[in-house]
Amino acid sequence: MSAPKRIKRTISGWVVLNKPYDMTSTQAVGKVRWLFGAAKAGHAGTLDPLATGILPIALGEATKAVPQVQDGTKVYRFAIQWGSATTTDDAEGSVVATSDVRPDQAALLAVLPRFTGTILQRPPIYSALKIDGERAYDLARAGESVELAPREIDVDAIELLSHGTEKSVLEVTCGKGTYVRSLARDIAEALGTRGHVSMLHRGAVGPFNDTDALTIEQLEALDISERDALLKSVSAGFTDLPEIRLDAQQATAVRHGNAVLLTGAGSPVSLDECWVSFKGEVLATGWVEFGQFKCRRVFN
């Protein structure tokens, strides 16, 4: 007799996971989804298998808020291993070039300003970017030549945390689409040497950071009600966006996907992105145009 099928629950909220080393983001989502018995789950930004740190996992209706969180500012702590470049620009790949040059601290500090602001960055060939519908890493693993065009990225700040002859540890605050592996590669090349990422930890994604994080082991040690109590609300993903509180009549209209005229003192006339609520409940994300809120995603 087969085991009874696990019932999937309609549950919504955020799990801020500290993803362990050597686990893919998809595996992490699957594990958390199973632990919560959730009918629906997704994540807000892939983290490399060899990276640790913040992987915001959305359950249920929170999956509709993934784009907002994914677009948020990110903080990474990473180590550059000096002297060798790899196929993947991290420790997973095989060495393709070496150098005896070891930059001193002054030289490293002098070059970092070149990598802040809006800069052009060439993504690593082992990335999830698509070329003619195929993932770049699939083409690279198949031995095909992969050429990825440089892309504009925003780097708010880079700070040197520690420096050694063989390895330096840095922290970067950056926008969407930044590849830390490419950053390490390019910093090394700018210093006349070679380098790759030997450690990578994501400390923040949008509103979520290390102080919110839970490990899989912590979740496994709890019963289902205790896990539920640790879920962050769907609206936790919107802390960087303005909130507009609606009355009952407006809320009914928005639930049906209709635009509503915002009334009352201080109501915005124009907003590129915001979210609306009624009695603390998320109703929709959208924008304001000529004093009207217009829905982009409606939440159930």
Catalytic residue numbers, as ranges: 48
Copy the structure tokens of residue 137.
């890493």
Pairing of β 52-59 and β 195-205: parallel
In this structure, the number of other CB atoms found within 10 A of the CB of residue 119 comes to 17
Distance of CA 3 to the CA centre of its chain: 36
CA distances (Å), origin 149, targets 63, 82, 124, 152: 30, 25, 10, 10
CA 287 to chain centre: 23
Torsion of CA 250, 251, 257, 260, to 10 degrees: 20
How far apart (Å, rounded) are the C-alpha atoms in residues 110 and 95? Answer: 27
Q: Which regions of 193-234 does DSSP assign to beta strands (E)?
A: 195-205, 208-209
The whole-angstrom separation of Cα 33 and Cα 42 is 9
**First vs last Cα of the chain: how many Å apart?**
38
**Rounded-to-integer distance, Cα 106 and Cα 115, Å:** 16
CA distances from 154 to 99, 173, 289 (A): 29, 9, 28
